[in-house]
Amino acid sequence: MESVRHDLPSGTVTFLFTDVEGSTKLLHDLGAEGYARALAEHRRLLRDAFTAHGGVEVDTQGDAFFIAFPTAPGAVAAADEATRALAPGPIRVRIGLHTGAPLVTDEGYVGVDVHRAARIAAAGHGGQVLVSATTVAASEDVDLVDLGEHRLKDLAAPERLYQLGDDEFPPLKALSVSNLPVPATPFVGREPELEQLCTLLRDPDVRLLTVTGAGGIGKTRLALQAAAETSAAFPDGLWWVALAPLTDPALVPVALAQMLGVREEEGVPLAQALAERLENRRLLVLLDNAEHLLRGLVDEVRGLLEASARITVLVTSRERLDVSAEHLFALPPMTREDASAFFRARAAMLGVSLDRSAGVAALCERLDRLPLALQLAASRLRTFSPEQLLERLSRRLDLLKGGRDLDPRQQTLRATIEWSHDLLSPEEQTLFRRLAVFVDGCTLAAAETVCDAQTDQLEGLVDKSLLQRRDDAVEPRFWMLESIHEFAAERLAAAGEEADLRARHALYFRELAERMAGSLRAGDPEETPVATLEADIDNLRAAVALGLETGDNELVREITAALPLYWLDRDLYAEGRSWLERALELDPAEDDARRRLLSGLATIAYRQGDHDVAVSASDEAAALAMRLLGVADRFQLLKAQARAAGMRGELETAEGLWRETLEAALEADNGVGISACRLNLAALANTTRRHELAEELAQENLPFVRSRGQTRCEAYTLATLAQTRVYRGQAEDVADDAVAGARRSTQIGNNSLTAFCLDLAATAAAARGEARRSATILGATEAAREAMGAPPDEQEEAIRSRALELLGRDGSSVAEAWAEGRELDLESALAAATSDRIE
Ligand SMILES: Nc1ncnc2c1ncn2[C@@H]1O[C@H](COP(=O)(O)OP(=O)(O)OP(=O)(O)O)[C@@H](O)[C@H]1O
Ligand SMILES: [Mg+2]
């Protein structure tokens, strides 16, 4: 063993990692000898810079330095000096800085901050110095560019990164295109498995890889980790689809389309749109917890593999899928070392430090080194020592063995869950089984209303690892690991409470859906209600399923009628349409619910390009509104008629009706309604070349929607305004509105509207003679529409043509900028629309 490194700074330390960019290529270009010489020179220059500022070399491997500095300013100054010294070339290094309080041991530094620092360096480019927020906080007066938040490949929460100096570099090599969840605890051990899995994933011949193993053995966790580690091999992203909440394999493409932002277009079915989007893409799809869908999943997986020859599907499942292309990876239990490190790490999280007693090792063995069982046991370490845990759990296991004909690991896990459950107070046990009624977890409010949960009981379950908590888009959610959820569901059924709980669950979600729909109709900002519905879509699905099972048509119809704005906002037309058609078929009653269902169907069918259905649904909705007058309000009636006329192409009638509808909306003070009427009138005015009128309407609408915080309406208004001005020949004046519109629509996550606003910004740039900027943006929106599988519609095409016309024939500089733009995502294109560095 090495001696203790007394030379290493301790306490708060700033780490600096360096790495030579493109060393293989340099070796090739310079030859072995030339490269060795350049490398030696680079080492000398770096060492001079580092020692001048108090840096201590911790480790140097090949062409990478790991240096520790006692102060952050020293590290920043050294990084700056080193970069300057290397500027003449040929070697360029990326440098990462991060400050933390590591443990100094006989083997050097220990702690997550060391890994963080290395990951930060790896995200950069040659000549770039990346600085973490902790280092920035400990430095003063440094010239930095804020690069925003990035997820690094260690899968931890995003890190805000800064760049030293203001040179331009390509985007960071971080985990940007991914929806991999952030685990709440660090990953432990599993080095050989991780390496094997990564090698398989990187192998283009491995198209379908299934990680199998007992429940709770760590399949999901390892798969997530491997996906993150190999992200460089999947430039088109890593997509995690949790299958456990899904009852129908056909929902897999729906979920995937939603994640990828694939939008349905004129008469193109979702499956096809998705396939087109995936074509030639190199991406990884992680289908997690597939065991309950196995047979039905095979076709979906085939569909994915056929959509692109470069897609890799990673599955976790207790059983294999059993298709010919499948590679298997059977995950064993943890090794002795990993199991004990995992157990100790869990203990440390509770503030319990374990001595080197034999108890831990024996307990790990007894629990078959199954992480989930170890985690459940470890969560009781405040009460029991490892020896006591061993004794109590052993008694259980002995009792259980011999009996059932189960996989022994399954028995171990089951016994551990049972044991953990039996230690709960009776109130906690009741809550635990009741929470099984939720699909894919729930919010605190849902747990309180449906299960009479008390906060301290929920926290108790989280402490005991029987419940997980994660932060979500709108509010935190409580959820269960799959093996635990199954156990809780059994208990719920055994207690005879299932029917009652499902009814309470359905009632809660019906009310939630109605409340969100009401808030959307009233013109509240859309993002929160839509995200709320999205987060609970599996619960809403389960509530509808109960309605179908028990013949509660009202439940099905009311939930369905509440969701159209969610489907429209998220471009989920096929999904929405199938719900709506089902609800309409279920019950022919000519009531207000039917009117709302028809009106939702009309809009969705219209967006799908299915004009026949759109016209007949909107006609029927209008007729129904007429008959129900008194029940439905005047606004709804007129709107239905105006839309029906518009869809039939009767423009004059439509305009008259929209005017009347506007009056009704004003009378009812319906914010979204008022905005929708004005923008529909503006669109009609533009179609009939009365652009001045269109502009007036949009101008009038803008302060109105702003004062009400109607983000979505504001984005549409800004787009209409800019578009109208382009038609009026004032393209050079629309940049501000177009950019503001794009900002708003990124805020609500509407990619197609963002692309449209950016095209308007590109038109403005072209009109101002900023050819490079214009071409960069047009390249980016072109690529984004291709990626979405959504070619520009008529008005989008009109604006793009105008931009191209203004761009004229500007030769090669435009072509180059266009190509650069194609590499940008919409957010970077938005930055390019305003950056001072372009033009
Ligand atoms: N290597 C690891 N490092 C840290 N935590 C781990 C590791 N492996 C597993 N765990 C933890 O153990 C628990 C069970 O693991 P996981 O959910 O991955 O099991 P699984 O095999 O997917 O189970 P199931 O079949 O029920 O889905 C989780 O809380 C997970 O975070
Ligand atoms: Mg799993």
Q: Whose CA is nearest to atom 28 of ligand 1?
A: 372
**Site to substitute for ligand 1 among 481, 484, 486, most atoms within 8 A of C-beta:** 481
Residue 216 Cα to ligand 1 midpoint, Å, equals 5
pLDDT at position 406 is 65
Percent of the chain scoring above 70 in pLDDT: 93
Residue 417 Cα to ligand 2 midpoint, Å, equals 16
Cβ–Cβ < 8 Å for 131, 124: no
Q: Whose CA is nearest to atom 25 of ligand 1?
A: 215
Cβ–Cβ < 8 Å for 802, 731: yes
Close Cβ partners of 342 (under 8 Å, ≥ 6 residues apart): 188, 189, 334, 371, 374, 375
pLDDT tens per residue across span 24-51 = 777 878 888 888 888 889 999 999 999 9
Residue 213 Cα to ligand 2 midpoint, Å, equals 9
Give the closest ligand to the alpha carbon of residue 318. 1
399-430: burial string, b at 16+ Cβ within 10 Å, e else: ebeeeeeeeebbbbbbbbbebbbeebeeebbb
Residue 187 Cα to ligand 1 midpoint, Å, equals 10
Give the closest ligand to the alpha carbon of residue 189. 1
Cβ–Cβ < 8 Å for 739, 830: yes
Residue 487 Cα to ligand 2 midpoint, Å, equals 14
Is it the case that residue 812 has pLDDT exceeding 60?
no
**Site to substitute for ligand 1 among 155, 210, 211, 221, most atoms within 8 A of C-beta:** 221
Q: Whose CA is nearest to atom 9 of ligand 1?
A: 218
Give the closest ligand to the alpha carbon of residue 291. 1
pLDDT tens per residue across span 162-219 = 999 888 776 677 665 677 877 778 889 999 999 999 999 999 899 999 999 888 999 9
486 Cα nearest atom in ligand 1: 26
Percent of the chain scoring above 90 in pLDDT: 44
DSSP 8-state class, residue 102: P
375 Cα nearest atom in ligand 1: 12
Q: Has domain 426-496 been given CATH number 3.40.50.1980?
A: no
338 Cα nearest atom in ligand 1: 1
pLDDT tens per residue across span 505-556 = 999 999 999 999 888 776 666 778 888 999 999 999 999 999 999 999 999 9
318 Cα nearest atom in ligand 1: 25
Q: How confident is the model at residue 384 (pLDDT cuts 50, 70, 90)?
A: confident
Give the closest ligand to the alpha carbon of residue 377. 1
pLDDT at position 523 is 63
CA–CA gap between residue 284 and residue 240 (Å, rounded): 8
Is it the case that residue 70 has pLDDT exceeding 90?
yes
Domain 191-330 class, CATH top level: alpha beta
Cβ–Cβ < 8 Å for 722, 699: no
Q: How confident is the model at residue 420 (pLDDT cuts 50, 70, 90)?
A: confident
* Angle CA 139–144–149, to nearest 5: 95
Q: Determine the number of helices (DSSP H) and then strands (DSSP E) in the chain.
A: 37, 17
Burial class (CB in 10 A: 0-12, 13-18, 19+), 808: exposed
- pLDDT mean over 20-27: 80
Q: How far apart are the two ends of the chain, measured CA to CA in Å? A: 59
374 Cα nearest atom in ligand 1: 12
pLDDT at position 2 is 42
Cβ–Cβ < 8 Å for 630, 618: no
- pLDDT mean over 557-564: 95
Residue 346 Cα to ligand 1 midpoint, Å, equals 13
Indicate the helix (H) or strand (E) that contains 210: strand 208-212
Q: Whose CA is nearest to atom 15 of ligand 1?
A: 218
Close Cβ partners of 58 (under 8 Å, ≥ 6 residues apart): 5, 8, 66, 67, 68, 108, 109
pLDDT at position 207 is 93
Residue 424 Cα to ligand 1 midpoint, Å, equals 22
Residue 186 Cα to ligand 2 midpoint, Å, equals 17
Fold that domain 13-164 belongs to in CATH: Alpha-Beta Plaits (3.30.70)
Residue 808 Cα to ligand 1 midpoint, Å, equals 58
pLDDT at position 153 is 65
Residue 78 Cα to ligand 2 midpoint, Å, equals 45
Give the closest ligand to the alpha carbon of residue 414. 1
- pLDDT mean over 100-118: 82
Cβ–Cβ < 8 Å for 72, 132: no
224 Cα nearest atom in ligand 1: 18
Ligand 1 pocket residues where CB is under 6 Å: 183, 185, 187-190, 213, 215-221, 289, 316, 318, 342, 371-372, 375, 481-483
DSSP per position, 733-785: G-HHHHHHHHHHHHHTT-HHHHHHHHHHHHHHHHHTT-HHHHHHHHHHHHHHH
Is it the case that residue 355 has pLDDT exceeding 90?
no
55 three-state secondary structure? coil
331 Cα nearest atom in ligand 1: 21
Fold that domain 670-839 belongs to in CATH: 1.25.40
**Site to substitute for ligand 1 among 193, 288, 372, most atoms within 8 A of C-beta:** 372
Residue 218 Cα to ligand 2 midpoint, Å, equals 7
Is it the case that residue 592 has pLDDT exceeding 80?
yes
Q: Whose CA is nearest to atom 29 of ligand 1?
A: 372
Question: Across the chain, which distance is largest between two alpha carbons, in Å?
Answer: 90
Residue 434 Cα to ligand 1 midpoint, Å, equals 23
pLDDT at position 1 is 39
